[in-house]
Structure 1
Amino acid sequence: MTAFNFEQAFSRNIGWITTDEQAKLRSKKIAIAGLGGVGGSHLLTLTRLGIGEFHIADFDKFELANFNRQAGATISHLDQPKTDIMAAMALDINPELHIQKFPDGVTSSNLADFFSGVDLYVDSLDFFAFEAREMVFAYCAEHKIPAVTAAPLGMGVALLNFMPGKMTFEQYFKLNGKSSTDKILHFLLGLSPAMLQRGYLMDQSAVDLLNHRGPSTPMACELCAGVVATQALKILLGRGKILAAPKGLHFDAYCNRLVTTWRPGGNGNPIQRLGIMIAKQKFIKMNRE
């Protein structure tokens, strides 16, 4: 059996990054909350990039409904904790990884431990996990931890980076004090001002936002992982232009479109407020019907 060797295992990264940069990435620690559709792919992609340490959090187990998009969802992994499975898969790529598991998810009681020594936060929480998401992004803003979120929308990805000293998650999305329905609309429209995915949804009945249900694709999840790992490389190595909120990116592979989004003031922007108002009217009408 061939013995593991870090330099050889990740030697094909060299060229796009230098040997010194690979060593630097090996010394970095990334926190990932949520190991579902995007989180599992984030962990494996970042492991292959050569990141050396992770904090991973998820309270859920794998089930059949995860099979269309989640990296760890297989028959052999059914009913097993996502933290255990994804940690094992990452360690199978790099057995020298340091991984701390948070099998109860991210909570107010473990928040400080989850972010201890972390260089970057990658958001992979369920779309509707607003309480946890607001909590972790507030912590990142307070402790100057860069945070990246990439939403799998349709067959594309919408990216936002929240960098220390720049616009915060709350300043952009303005979720505080909103009703659950308003949070859904503010988060969706904030993630995706361009809404590139809206034109090719084939079955409207598959969308039930009030009951926290919506369609997904594996393509979007994999696109998210590639985009987030690229942002992680740039942030951790301090190279390349980084778009920070209120600027973002939306790429849709189905529409063959890439848009740089810009909403000064985030969801407080007049154009954005109008879009949210129109979306709310459609949302109310759809639920009545």
Structure 2
Amino acid sequence: MQKKPRIITLEGKKDPAFYRERTKRNELFLGVGREQMTLSQQKLANAVVGVAGAGGLGGGLAMMLARLGVGHIKICDPDSFEVTNINRQLGATPETIGHNKSIVVGELIHQTMPDVTVEIFPEGMQKHVAKEFVEGCDLLVDCVDFYLVDQRYDMHKAFRESPTCKSCVAGTVVGWGANVYHFTQDGLTLEDFYGIPADAEQTEEVVDKLVKLQASFLPRFPSKDAIYDYMRDTGNVPILSLAPPLGQYMIVARAALILMGLDKAPYCTELPPMPSYLWMDASTMECGVYEFNGAFVNEDEFETHFKNFEPERLRA
């Protein structure tokens, strides 16, 4: 018999007057007329959103969803905060080092907005968690680390079988940029997109493939070799502290439009489903819809710009 997941529930205390006051500055941008604006805000209030991952992307965007007015948030993460997380992650402070991320973030959301119901899944996205985590959700936000293949497969399988959860949005940050992409129940599956077994050994070849399928634009600097050397030496992915807020905004904006039913014309430009994705880079001012094809779009980016460049010239 499959064991039950551990769930910590922080029940929201509904207060229509408080909710109205705290969300009313959002409403003007939620439709083309007063009736639609009010309806859109009500859809957010009634929505249940599952945020898988409470790290650099997930923690901050879960807070954004609550601020926007989403009334019920599920958040899942088994990891604990480390000192290196302080550069970018909501809830990471010297006092929370060693504490579970999903519990810290969930409690912070509930303290800030006590009318939001928060369900915390501190065991992470395991097989016995996935189905119950997705159950009842209107939208799934996938912020699980890209290399946790089997956990993501379990979650996406539950998403495709859900009678209520019609969309899954996800994204990554790379260098000075971020992307966002959209899975649908009848579109490209994560399993077909990755094309690797759930139990595949994390060899350098597999990791390289996964990186290219999550981040097909390389940062302009440093070189690809420098990035891969860092990953090999530290076992971690380098992340600029400025990038996660960009990714959070891009993901939450698309999630909110989907929840309100405003994600298509005439209200906005539709994001095509996977393998298409939206990429934005603050350093190159590049922004557009592209398609993952298993290769870096700009393989020679570093060499193109810095072949004859001597960094010593920048020294005072």
TM superposition score normalised by structure 2: 0.77
Partner of 2:254: 231
Conserved in 2, the CA contact under 8 Å of 1:160 and 1:191? no
Q: 241-250 vs 140-149, which deviates more?
A: 140-149
Partner of 1:74: 93
Provide the secondary structure at the position in 2 that maps to 1:67: helix
Conserved in 1, the CA contact under 8 Å of 2:172 and 2:247? yes
Partner of 2:202: 180
User: Structure 2 CA distance, aligned partners of 1:93 and 1:228?
Assistant: 21
1:244 aligns with 2:265: no
Unaligned 5+ residue runs, structure 2? 1-14, 31-36, 265-269, 301-316
Matching residue within 236, 256, 265 for 2:285: 256
Q: 168-177 vs 118-127, which deviates more?
A: 168-177
Partner of 2:68: 49
Partner of 2:24: 11
How far is the alpha carbon of 1:187 from its aligned partner? 2.1
Cα shift readout 1:29-50 (whole Å, capped 9, x = no counterpart): 1111111111111111111111
Cα shift readout 1:224-246 (whole Å, capped 9, x = no counterpart): 11011111112111213232112
CA RMSD of aligned residues (A): 2.4
Matching residue within 207, 217, 221 for 2:240: 217
How far is the alpha carbon of 1:206 from its aligned partner? 5.8
Partner of 1:39: 58
Matching residue within 102, 110, 126 for 1:91: 110
Conserved in 1, the CA contact under 8 Å of 2:231 and 2:238? no
Q: 79-88 vs 205-214, which deviates more?
A: 205-214
Q: 143-152 vs 95-104, which deviates more?
A: 143-152
Larger radius of gyration: 2
How far is the alpha carbon of 1:138 from its aligned partner? 2.5
1:27 aligns with 2:56: no
Conserved in 2, the CA contact under 8 Å of 1:155 and 1:220? yes
Conserved in 1, the CA contact under 8 Å of 2:146 and 2:214? no
Provide the secondary structure at the position in 2 that maps to 1:99: strand
Matches within 5 A, 1:107-122: 107-122=126-141
Unaligned 5+ residue runs, structure 1? 280-289
Matches within 5 A, 1:156-167: 156-167=177-188
Conserved in 1, the CA contact under 8 Å of 2:52 and 2:75? yes
Q: 123-132 vs 135-144, which deviates more?
A: 135-144
Q: 207-216 vs 247-256, which deviates more?
A: 207-216
- Opposite residue 202 of structure 2, the aligned amino acid is S
How far is the alpha carbon of 1:190 from its aligned partner? 1.5
Matches within 5 A, 1:132-171: 132-143=151-162, 145-171=166-192
User: Structure 1 CA distance, aligned partners of 2:187 and 2:227?
Assistant: 37
How far is the alpha carbon of 1:168 from its aligned partner? 1.7
How far is the alpha carbon of 1:262 from its aligned partner? 2.2
How far is the alpha carbon of 1:78 from its aligned partner? 2.0
Q: How many residues align?
A: 266
CA distance 1:164–1:127, change in 2 (3 Å) = closer
How far is the alpha carbon of 1:113 from its aligned partner? 1.1
User: Structure 1 CA distance, aligned partners of 2:55 and 2:75?
Assistant: 11
User: Structure 2 CA distance, aligned partners of 1:244 and 1:77?
Assistant: 37
Percentage identity across paired residues of the two chains? 24
Conserved in 1, the CA contact under 8 Å of 2:271 and 2:278? no
CA distance 1:131–1:211, change in 2 (3 Å) = farther
